[in-house]
């Protein structure tokens, strides 16, 4: 079974600075998808960024980018120019074709003014 | 509707009672997922539907939990003889397909279940 690990229960960053959230996963499959979801106090899970495993190029969405290392099974999220609105729980998730999404335990990000 | 809708948003029930939680997925989405989330933890998989059938129900904790999706759209999660340990936020998500390029899951706002 696939597992997702996030080793940082909590992180903090100064407003306008850069922060990196870590994620590792375990799978025997070669084709899959990885996601970062954000969950603010409202409970609504919001997709931040996604990466297809067959693509070597790291995904980027505005201030959010990933460092995908397939061989190491690592998928970190970098948030640049952090904003107060970025404060939330961040979950790393794995999805294999035709399977459920497997989530990590989450990292609580605080943004300090 | 435009997004995944879950009702009720909050439910308080007495221990031993039966509850039903409803999920309206995004129109046209064939995949539907139920998760349970305890405070400060990540979503825990319960069941995954592809169309009307349960493609994977390995996450259901015991036989008190059951879910249906009779017409391949709305789904209902049913919990019998509720226990205080069932208290959690129950999240529903839908996806256009069950994986592949359109695998993104869209989530509802969840139902907070409290068993007293």
DSSP symbols for A21-43: E--EEE-S-SSEEEEEEEE-TT-
Q: Tens of pLDDT along B36-62?
A: 999 989 999 999 999 999 999 999 999
Provide the mean pLDDT of chain B. Answer: 93
Provide the mean pLDDT of chain A. Answer: 94
> Is B98's pLDDT higher than 70?
no
Q: Is A8 on the interface with B (CB under 8 A)?
A: no
A58/A89 Cα distance (integer angstroms): 22
3-class SS of residue B12: strand
Q: What is the pLDDT of residue B101?
A: 60
Are the CB atoms for B66 and B87 separated by under 8 Å? no
- The H or E element that residue B29 is part of is none
Task: Report the DSSP beta bridge partners of residue B13.
Answer: B115
Are the CB atoms for B93 and B105 separated by under 8 Å? yes
* Yes or no, beta carbons of B33 and A44 under 8 Å apart: no
Q: Spell out the residues 6+ positions from residue B60 whose beta carbon is closer than 8 angstroms to its own.
A: B46, B47, B66, B67
> Is B76's pLDDT higher than 90?
yes
Chain B residue numbers touching A44 (CB-CB < 8 A): 107, 109
> Is A105's pLDDT higher than 90?
yes
> Is B1's pLDDT higher than 60?
no
User: Could you count the other beta carbons within 10 Å of the beta carbon of residue A36?
Assistant: 26
Residue, of A44 and B78, whose pLDDT is higher? B78
**Which 78-97 residues of chain A touch chain B by CB within 8 A?**
91, 93, 95-97
* Yes or no, beta carbons of B42 and A47 under 8 Å apart: no
> Is A12's pLDDT higher than 60?
yes
B101/B105 Cα distance (integer angstroms): 11
Q: Which of B63, B36, B79 is nearest to A100 (CA)?
A: B36
**Which 80-99 residues of chain B touch chain A by CB within 8 A?**
89, 91, 93, 98-99
């Amino acid at each position: 079974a696939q597992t997702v690990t996030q080793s940082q229960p909590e992180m903090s960053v100064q407003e306008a600075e850069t922060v990196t959230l870590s994620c590792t996963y375990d799978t025997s499959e070669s084709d899959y998808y990885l996601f970062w979801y954000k969950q603010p106090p409202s409970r609504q899970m919001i997709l931040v960024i996604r990466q297809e495993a067959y693509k070597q190029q790291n995904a980027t969405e505005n201030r959010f980018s990933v460092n995908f290392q397939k061989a190491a099974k690592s998928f970190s999220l970098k948030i640049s120019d952090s904003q107060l609105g970025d404060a939330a729980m961040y979950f790393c998730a794995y999805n294999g074709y035709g399977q459920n999404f497997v989530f990590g335990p989450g990292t609580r990000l605080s943004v300090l003014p | 509707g435009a997004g995944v809708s879950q009702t009720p948003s909050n439910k308080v029930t007495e221990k031993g009672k039966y509850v039903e939680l409803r999920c309206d997925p995004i129109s046209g989405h064939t995949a539907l997922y139920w998760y349970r989330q305890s405070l400060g933890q990540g979503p825990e998989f319960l069941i995954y539907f592809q169309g009307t059938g349960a493609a994977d129900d390995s996450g259901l904790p015991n036989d008190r939990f059951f879910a249906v999706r009779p017409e391949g759209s709305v789904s209902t999660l049913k919990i019998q003889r509720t226990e205080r340990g069932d208290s959690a936020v129950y999240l529903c998500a839908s996806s256009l397909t069950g994986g592949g390029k359109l695998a993104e899951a869209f989530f509802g706002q969840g139902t907070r279940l409290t068993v007293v």
